[in-house]
Structures are given as C-alpha cells and as structure tokens.
Amino acid sequence: MHIYSVTDPEFKPYGKVLEGYDTAELLAAMKEIDMPDEGTAYRPGIESLEACAIFPELRDRAYGGMPIQLGMCWGHNAKLNCLEYHRDSEVNIGTKDFILLLAKEDEIVDGVLDTSLVKAFRVPKGLPVEVYATTLHYAPCHTCPHCGFRVAVVLPKGTNTEKPDFEPKCEEDTWMTARNKWLLAHPDSKEAKRGAHIGLRGENLDISADLEDM
C-alpha cells in the first residue's frame, strides 16, 4: 500500500496541516502516559494534556472558541478494522511519526465502503493535522512496531462519550456507537463482533509489510 505524506497534494481532500502551534509541552506530557502492553487505548479528555498551554490555543484558533476536549489514542496498531466520522473536524498530533488510514464519507454507498478506496498518510511527529468532518478515520497506525504511537485527539467536548438515547429514524442512526461518532466496522473486527454496523467491504487492510519498506 502506498503511504503518502500529509504534505502531499493527495491529502488536500482529507484535511490540512495547521500552522503556528508550539506542541513541545504537549508532546512531553503525552510521553508521561504509559503505553498499553498490547492493542490501543483511548481517552476523550486527559487533564494533564488539557493543562498544556496549547489547549486554549486549539480551542480558540482551531475551533473558533467552541468547547473542546484534548485526549489521546495510544498503543500499537497496523490494521484498519473500522472507520468512523464526526460532525466536526478532528485534530491529531503525534509524539512520533504515525499513519492515518483515511477515506471519504461520500464514498459510502448503501451503508458500505469498499476498503480499496482507503488511502494511507504519514504524519510527521509534532505536526498538528486537521482531519475534516467528511473524512473517515479510526485508530492511528504506528511507524515503529516496537515504539507504538501516542497521538493527541482534539474534538468538540463530549465527542466519543456516552451514546445518546433515542429511537433511530434512519439507517445512519444505527451506525452511531457513541456521542458524535458514526462507525463502519469490518466483519473481522472486534467492534463488529460487539454489534457495530458492518460497513466495510474488502480486505481489512494491514500496513505491517509496508512499514518494512519505509
């Protein structure tokens, strides 16, 4: 699988690099959080990260003053498994280079997306990247299997917390698995086995072999 950079023109439909942010303090705080032994972990908001000076900057500049949360996804991953989207952009910042597997919401047809449409993008460490609301994404992938990844996740406050209680009125309503989170799962994923909407068709992409060539 070809791995583009977020600085390549191919990234433009999916997101953009954000400029003018000092991420050093945030990266140091992220490194203080222990890695899981295997798999990935995620917390929507982490107090030590939100105490960093970049937090109000992200709130005011990246989100125009709207309430936000600054959490983290971290661990070890090289597979697609699922794709999700929100009604708002997401900002990611990694302590090391990491890879995002991305597709477009308008590529979903009848509730299903073909995984052959997914593209991979490498994000340099410390670089803030906005992933547009119309971009499908999920857990980052590491570039070093031994090191894993730590990626800050900035979203509107409340995202990825408890799912709202309501009666579904359309198919898309049934894809929601948390607040402001719509999920398409691959049949092989643990999320599908837990009842998530099976919305990915094709190979459950694994970039392990591609990392060896980088």
- Please name every residue paired with 51 in a beta bridge, in sequence order, or none if there are none: none
Q: List the one residue out of 63, 70, 81, 90 whose CA is nearest residue 23.
A: 70
Beta strands 3-5; 119-123: pairing state:
parallel
Question: Average per-residue pLDDT in the chain?
Answer: 97
Q: Comparing 146 with 8, which gets the higher pLDDT? A: 8
Residue 60's pLDDT is: 98
Q: What are the tokens at 113? A: 């997306």
Q: Where does the pLDDT of residue 211 fall: very low under 50, low under 70, confident under 90, or very high at 90 and above?
A: confident
Residue 38's pLDDT is: 87
Question: What's the average model confidence in pLDDT over 75-90?
Answer: 98
Length of the chain: 214
Q: What is the DSSP string of 99-146?
A: EEEEEEGGG-BTTBEEGGG-EEEEE-TT--EEE-TTEEB-S-EESSTT
**What is the distance between the alpha carbons of residues 65 and 26, in angstroms, rounded to a whole number?**
20
Residue 11: DSSP 8-state: G
**What is the distance between the alpha carbons of residues 155 and 183, in angstroms, rounded to a whole number?**
16
**Alpha-helix runs per DSSP H in the chain:** 24-31, 47-50, 54-57, 190-193, 208-212
Question: What's the average model confidence in pLDDT over 50-68?
Answer: 98
- Is it the case that residue 28 has pLDDT exceeding 60? yes
Residue 53: Cβ within 10 Å count: 10
Domain total in the chain: 1
Residue 37's pLDDT is: 87
37-53 confidence digits (pLDDT tens): 889 999 999 999 999 99
**What is the distance between the alpha carbons of residues 41 and 77, in angstroms, rounded to a whole number?**
10
- CATH classification of the domain holding 79: 2.60.120.10
CA distance to 68, 195, 207, per residue, from 121 (Å): 25, 29, 11
105-162 confidence digits (pLDDT tens): 999 999 999 999 999 999 999 999 999 999 999 999 999 988 999 999 999 999 999 9
**What is the distance between the alpha carbons of residues 15 and 10, in angstroms, rounded to a whole number?**
10
Residue 162: DSSP 8-state: S
- Is it the case that residue 213 has pLDDT exceeding 70? no
* 112 exposure class (CB count in 10 Å sphere: 0-12, 13-18, 19+): middle
Which domain range does residue 193 map to? 3-212
- Is it the case that residue 200 has pLDDT exceeding 60? yes
Q: List the one residue out of 92, 97, 52, 98 whose CA is nearest residue 72.
A: 92
- Is it the case that residue 214 has pLDDT exceeding 60? no
Q: What are the tokens at 75? A: 């661990």
